[in-house]
Chains A and B, each alone.
Chain A
Amino acid sequence: MVSRETTQGAGSLLDVERTWGNRLAYFGRFLWRDRGGVVGLILFAVVVFAAVFAPVITRYDPLQQNLRDSKMPPAWSAEGSWDHPFGTDNLGRDSFGRIVYGTRVSLTVGFFGVLIAGGLGLVIGAISGYIGGRTDAAIMSVINLILSLPYLLFVVVIASILGRSLINVILIFGITDSPIFARVTRGEVLRIRESGYVESAVSAGARTGRIIFDHIIPNLIGPLITLATFEMSAMIFYEAGLGFLGLSVPPSVSSWGNMLAAGRKYLTSYPWIATFPGLAIMFTSLGMNLVGDWLRDVLDPRLRRARK
């Protein structure tokens, strides 16, 4: 009941001229009504800010060891100090600084992983959906094979074979995640190709180029951006998981997964070492899932109507 008013209150793009300014204003109004989306965007903005301005936010070198100050508890406990808000780890490295720098690894893996997976998936899915017939059937059966496998198990095994490096992690996620993008792209291409508006555009004499650029691509963007948000969240999650098993970036790099792996050893005596990187992963993932939910609603007019 509430959401009906929401949709009307946010206005409709049908009534106004579709300039970019109007579109942005429309998305803004819609965002304001979706409190989850606002929270998600704020969380995501904090993570991006931390990644870009890491050296300004923290004065510590995340790799600087200082054994004299090792295993210090967080600031609000009795022996803590505000020099190290989240305490220090077993080697005396500042936990807050390491978390701030850790955003760089997470975002790099998430962004480039999704870029590769999305690019590969878009090309494969578009070809499969466009050509159809036996090629389509063959491509889709390979994709369904990969998607029905125990994903985590294979990612862990491949990571253990390739060895620890940032590039390897990005490639692993980029390649193993591309089937999802391919399947969504293919489904959307098929749906759009069969739709009434493409049919009427064709019968009105529109050229293939115009159909692809004016009808197919704009309609693909929404579902793919939504998917990319969820997949980026998943990759950040899985990267930390690999790091936890000692299979992601080298131990010398500050990443949330590596911090967790170190914290696991000192869990009972120095629990804060593992606590804070876990919270960082949770809030990042929460933020991106909220943004994804919001994007799904705002970018898909059919869902917007169905929600009434």
Chain B
Amino acid sequence: MQRYFLSKAGQSIALLFGVIVLVFLMVRITGDPARLMASREASPETVEAIRQEWGFDRPPLVQFWDFLTRAVVLDFGRSYHFKTPAMPMVLGRLPATVQLAAIALLMAVIVGIPIGLVGGFNPGTVIDSLGRLLALLGQSIPNFWLALILILLFAVRLGWFPSFGRDELKSVVLPAFVLGLPVMGQIVRLTRSAVLEIRGEDFIRTAHAKGLEPRTIYVKHVLRNVAIPLISVIGVQFGYMLGGSIYIEAIYAWPGMGQLLEQSIGWRDFPLIQAIAIFTSLVVLALNVLTDVAYAVIDPRIRYGK
């Protein structure tokens, strides 16, 4: 178990190195990062000043070493817009993003799993069809558009929820619903197909044949096995929501990392953009390791397989 965890953690550190290389190269795709960071109307002197300040005139390998050693201690320089170190700004936005993603995920799990279970145990019924329709819609409705429509309906017309901000408890409802809907759809689909698959397994038939109570079979044999694929999807989706809440945070003015990213793109604030990209990747990769470990704890086949 310990070895399994260590190898997963080691892989993630290698991946994080890859992320740092990627972000380093990304800012240099166009060939002149100083031009990129300056505004369009900037004079050649300003561009030259930026080049000096950020050391873009040094040899690429020196620049990379410098970037890497700073990135390891989460130092991405000063934000252009705020004139303060970038990393504390990003960390300050983390709680709002985590809160939004956690509530969205909770909603997706609480609503999605029961619907999926009902559908899996009673395929072809009305509830099953409704659940599948919901899953399909969750997958197909563009979240940035749904966010606008819900503001129109529930904030402007009905006045039930605030249309933006994070001032009251109610504020989280609309953004969390929009963020959680596609995940809920996926959970419904997965739960349903997992139940259908496991119900047909030999060990379930054996359990029935030896006269176990159906309820015992459902709880002990079916549900336990359904939990395995669900855990992996929930872990991955939580990571996806942390990095994918950019539209929703921007539309609802939710003061998290996604909103900060949208703003810093507008300001061409690359120290902030780099900090957000690398820090979000770090969080997502850490979540992946935790998911893998949870997976191994639940499923002995993985623990002993390798």
A160-B265, A161-B29, A260-B144 known; A150 and B273 CB under 8 Å? no
CB distance from A113 to the nearest CB of B (A): 17
Contact, CB under 8 Å: B265 / A157: yes
Quick check: is A108 within 8 A (CB to CB) of the other chain?
A: no
A148 touches B29 (CB 8 A): no
Task: Mark interface residues in A130-155 (1 if CB within 8 Å of B CB, else 0).
Answer: 00000000000110110011111110
Q: Are B261 and A156 in contact (CB under 8 A)?
A: yes
Is B277 touching A285 in the complex (CB atoms < 8 A)? no
On chain B, the residues within 8 Å of A247 by CB distance are 265
On whether A289 and B144 interact (CB within 8 A), knowing A148-B285, A149-B284, A153-B244, the answer reads no
The answer to whether B144 touches A153, judged by C-beta atoms less than 8 angstroms apart, is no
CA distance A216 to B18 in the complex (A): 33
A1-B124, A157-B26, A245-B262 in contact; A150/B247 too (CB < 8 A)? no
- Interface pair B145/A156, CB less than 8 Å apart: no
Q: Does B288 contact A (CB under 8 A)?
A: yes
Task: Say which one of A8-16, A61-69, A87-95, A273-281 lies at the interface with B.
Answer: A273-281
Asked if B156 is at the interface of the complex by the 8 Å CB criterion, the answer is yes
* Contact among B142, B277, B288 for A282, CB-based, below 8 A: B142
CA distance A154 to B29 in the complex (A): 13
Q: Which residue, of B11, B142, B251, B281, has the highest number of chain A Cβ atoms within 10 A?
A: B142
B36 touches A (CB below 8 Å): yes
The answer to whether B124 and A152 touch across the interface, beta carbons within 8 angstroms, is: no
Per-position 1/0 for A223-260, Cβ under 8 A of B: 00000000001000100110011010000000000001
Stretch of B41-49, B67-75, B147-155 contacting A (4+ beta carbons < 8 Å): B147-155
Q: B124 to chain A: which residues have CB within 8 Å?
A: 1-2
Q: How far, in angstroms, from A153 to B8 measured CA to CA in the complex?
A: 24
Closest chain B residue to A260 by CB distance?
B145
Residue of A nearest to B12 (CB): A148
Q: Would A152 and B18 be within 8 Å (CB), given that A157-B273, A161-B36, A282-B140 are in contact?
A: no
B188 to chain A, nearest CB (A): 14
Q: Are B246 and A156 in contact (CB under 8 A)?
A: yes
Shortest C-beta distance, B280 to chain A (Å), equals: 5
Contact of B156 (CB < 8 Å), options: A152, A157, A268, A275: A268
Q: How far is the CB of B306 from chain A (nearest CB, A)?
A: 14
Q: B148 contacts A263, CB within 8 Å?
A: yes
Q: How large is the interface on B (under 10, 10 to 19, 20 to 34, 35 or more residues)?
A: 35 or more
Q: What number of A-B contacts does a CB cutoff of 8 Å give?
A: 114
Beta-carbon contact of A148 and B246 below 8 Å: no
Q: Which of these, A2, A142, A149, A285, contacts B281 with CB under 8 Å?
A: A149
CB within 8 Å of A: which B118-141 residues: 124, 136-137, 139-141
Interface flag for B302 (CB, 8 Å): no
**A-binding segment of B201-209, B235-243, B293-301:** B235-243
Check A151 against B144 for contact (C-beta < 8 Å).
no
Determine which residue in B14, B136, B145, B148 has the highest number of CB atoms from chain A within 10 A of its CB, and name it: B145
Interface centre among A148, A267, A268 (most CB of B within 10 A): A148
B250 interfacial by beta-carbon distance below 8 Å: yes
Could you say which of A152, A263, A271, A289 contacts B140, with CB atoms under 8 Å apart?
Answer: A289
**CA–CA, A247 and B145, complex, Å:** 16
The answer for the CA separation of A297 and B156 in the assembled complex, in Å, is: 43
- A residues near B2, Cβ cutoff 8 Å: none
Cβ–Cβ contact B242 & A145, under 8 A: no
Q: Are B247 and A241 in contact (CB under 8 A)?
A: yes
Chain B residues within 8 Å of A158, by CB: 26, 29
Q: Assess the A150–B244 pair: CB atoms within 8 A.
A: yes
List of A residues within 8 angstroms of B146 by Cβ:
278
Q: How far is the CB of B298 from chain A (nearest CB, A)?
A: 21
Q: In this assembly, does B27 line the interface, its C-beta being within 8 Å of a C-beta of chain A? A: yes
Given known contacts A264-B148, A267-B152, is B29 in contact with A153 (CB within 8 Å)? no
- B19 interfacial by beta-carbon distance below 8 Å: yes
Instruction: Please state if B243 and A150 are interface contacts (CB–CB under 8 Å).
Output: yes
Q: Does any Cβ of A come within 8 Å of B15's Cβ?
A: yes
Which of B30, B261, B280 makes the CB contact (< 8 A) with A161?
A: B30
Find out whether the CB atom of A278 lies under 8 angstroms from the CB atom of B140: no
Cα distance A140–B27 in the bound complex, in angstroms: 25
Closest Cβ of chain A: how far from B64's Cβ, in Å? 18
A127 at interface (Cβ–Cβ under 8 A)? Answer: no
A275 touches B149 (CB 8 A): yes
Residues of A within 8 A of B262 (CB): 245
**Option from B30, B140, B265, B280 in Cβ contact (under 8 Å) with A150:** B280
Q: Is the CB of B285 within 8 A of A278?
A: no
A48 located at the interface, meaning its Cβ lies under 8 Å from any Cβ of chain B in the complex:
no
In the complex, chain B residues whose CB is within 8 Å of the CB of A145: 15, 18-19
Query: What A residues does B144 contact at CB under 8 A?
Result: 240-241, 244, 260
**C-alpha spacing A142/B152, complex, angstroms:** 43
Given A153-B243, A161-B27, A267-B152, also A241-B142 (CB < 8 A): yes
Cβ of A57 under 8 Å from chain B: no
19 CB < 8 A contacts A-B:
A145-B19, A150-B244, A150-B280, A150-B281, A151-B240, A153-B276, A157-B277, A158-B29, A160-B265, A161-B26, A162-B30, A233-B140, A237-B142, A241-B144, A244-B144, A264-B148, A267-B151, A286-B136, A286-B137
Q: What are the 8 tightest A-B residue pairs by CB atom distance, in nearest-first order? A: A150-B243, A278-B145, A286-B140, A285-B140, A160-B265, A153-B243, A145-B18, A152-B244
Q: Residues of A with Cβ closer than 8 Å to B?
A: 1-2, 141-142, 144-145, 148-154, 156-158, 160-162, 233, 237, 240-241, 244-245, 247, 260, 263-264, 267-268, 271, 274-275, 277-278, 281-282, 285-286, 289-290
